Structures are given as structure tokens and as C-alpha cells.
Structure 1
């Protein structure tokens, strides 16, 4: 039996105050194409909810980390200011989670692949 490499996929988060449907409940989401691409490359996709305190548990389970694309990272995280109202920022929850998991993954030698956060 072949054991597939488990690839952790970060996912988007939408806060309740930004939701016009679902009775204004928060939700986490991912484009299905990320799952399909990991599967077609021979991996087992594992979706990682944005829970920073679970980072070590996630990393103990996965073999690789894929940072999926999404809205812009908050410029304040890299010492800049937002220069335009047209910039669509991701939630702070996702930013915090991805910062934490990337640092920990690199420290543990887990491969990390990132896709654009600013579409």
C-alpha cells in the first residue's frame, strides 16, 4: 500500500461582519481546484482551519505545507501602510495563523510552497 504525502492547505476565513448570507455566520473556505491539484500530483490534501494554537498538531501530521492564494496580507505586518482602499485585505485571523505555521514549518524542516496573497 502506497502512503500518500499529506499536504496541509491553508484556507480563507470570512468574519461574520463581512458575510451577507449564512445568517451572518463566519466560515472558512477553499477553492476546490487546490484540492484537485494536490490529489492529481499524488498528495493527500489536508485542510487546516485557522486555529493558531493547533499549529504544532497540524505540523506533526503533514508532510508539506501549501499556502493557498487569497486576499492581501495586511501591510502593517511588514511595516507598511495601506495605500489604497481598493486593496482587499484578508482577515487578521488568517494572517496570524499563516505567520505562525510558516515559521514553525521552516523550523521543523517541512517544505512550504506559497501562492499569491493579493489577487
Structure 2
């Protein structure tokens, strides 16, 4: 039986949606994607029916969830999505289900465990490089250096070139999380939690690269789906 991967979704006025690249990346890795809307009830029942959780990218996280007022550069927030992502994530961690968190999902993982964010990299981080690329989504825009002795290092090696579509980033790291990769300007690009079977967050978008047969990106999705199979 192929593992069932619960996949979060975007929302806009009166509809839920998801980029097809997430679905294709899960399928390529051997999983069955089960996309679900924002939920705050019936979460335990839902979690009991999946083998792993994929937290996808999307809008900004409301600054109130890490104890700050919004600065002028904060983008669109959807509080219902924040609440759903946090609650589903906590339920998944409680069961030690494998979690793979991408871009916004990487930030959700950090905030859910007590961390905080830069609300806007260009205005809050001196010397920041470009993190919101203007190139096509599959183009690799900057280098990420990976720390030795981490799960991420074992999977993809010491460095990787990645795509990048964010203006927020991890500031204070959440409880129990390890920083596993960063860019030359010090922005945290990956985190993992060693107390769980598989709990990994990346700030870039490997789903866009996986469908282009990028080795490192495919490796991440396959490792996640393999962990869900066990």
C-alpha cells in the first residue's frame, strides 16, 4: 500500500487550491496525496487516516502568532489557515507522523514550536541577498550551505542551489529545532527536529524542482514518503 500524504492547501475567496507541482512531487516519490481544506475540528480523526503531513507554501503568517504587531510590509494573512496549519501540525507531531514543511510550511513549523519570524527580509535584515526571485519557479537563484551531521546533510550533501519565493524568514528558532542550512546572508533555509522520526523544513520550493528531475529535490520527497511508508 502506498502511503497517504495529507497536503495542506491555499485559500482565497470562496475556494481552496493547490499548485499541481506539490501533487506531482508526492506522486513521483511514491505517495498518494490527500489535499484537505482548513480544518479546526475533527483533526484527530483526519490525522488517523494519513501516514504523513506535507505543509505547503503560501501567504504570510499573522504576526500575532509570534507576539508582534504587523509592520507595513507584512503581506496577506489568513488567520483561519494559520490556525488550521498549527493544529494539524501539532496533532501530527503528537503521533510522530513524518512532517515535510515547505516555504511557509517551514515557517509554520518554527512558529508552532515557539519561534518567530522576520516579517520582511529586505527591511529587517541588513545585507540580505535576493530571496523573492523574479525568475521562473524552477530556476535556482541562490546557494544554500548545509550543516554536517544533520539529516539534511545525509540526504543532499554540503550545499545546494535552490529557488526562492519568500520575504519572511525564521528569526528566533522554535523549541527543539536545529538549524540545518542557511544562505550567505545568514537567513535560515532549513530546520529539523531530532526528536521525531522525520520532521524537516526547507525554505525553498523543492516541489518545483522535483518535477524537473532535480536530484536533491527528488531525494527530499522520496525520503519523506519512505518515512511515511514505515
TM range (shorter): 0.7 to 0.9
Q: 1:12 is matched with which residue?
A: 10
Q: Any stretches of 5+ residues in structure 1 without a counterpart?
A: 17-25
Counterpart selection for 2:89 from 102, 106, 118: 102
**Larger C-alpha radius of gyration, 1 or 2?**
2
How much is the aligned-residue C-alpha RMSD, in angstroms? Answer: 1.3
Classify the secondary structure of the residue corresponding to 2:42.
helix
CA distance in 2, matches of 1:37, 1:49: 19
Which of 19, 29, 38 pairs up with 1:31?
19
The equivalent residue for 1:68 is: 56
Query: Out of 39, 53, 74, which is 2:41 matched to?
Result: 53
- Distance in 1, Cα, partners of 2:34 & 2:77: 21
**Matching of residue 113 in structure 1 with residue 100 in structure 2:** yes
Please state whether the residue corresponding to 2:26 is helix, strand or coil: helix
CA-CA distance at 1:55 after TM superposition: 1.2
**CA drift at 1:82:** 1.3
Gaps of 5+ in 2: 105-164, 167-230
TM-score of the two chains, using structure 2 as the length reference: 0.44
TM-score normalized with structure 1 length? 0.83
Deviating above 6 A after TM superposition, structure 1's stretches of 4 or more consecutive aligned residues are none
Which structure has the highest helix share of the two? 1
Tell me the number of residue pairs that the alignment of Structure 1 and Structure 2 aligns: 106
SS of the residue aligned with 1:77?
helix
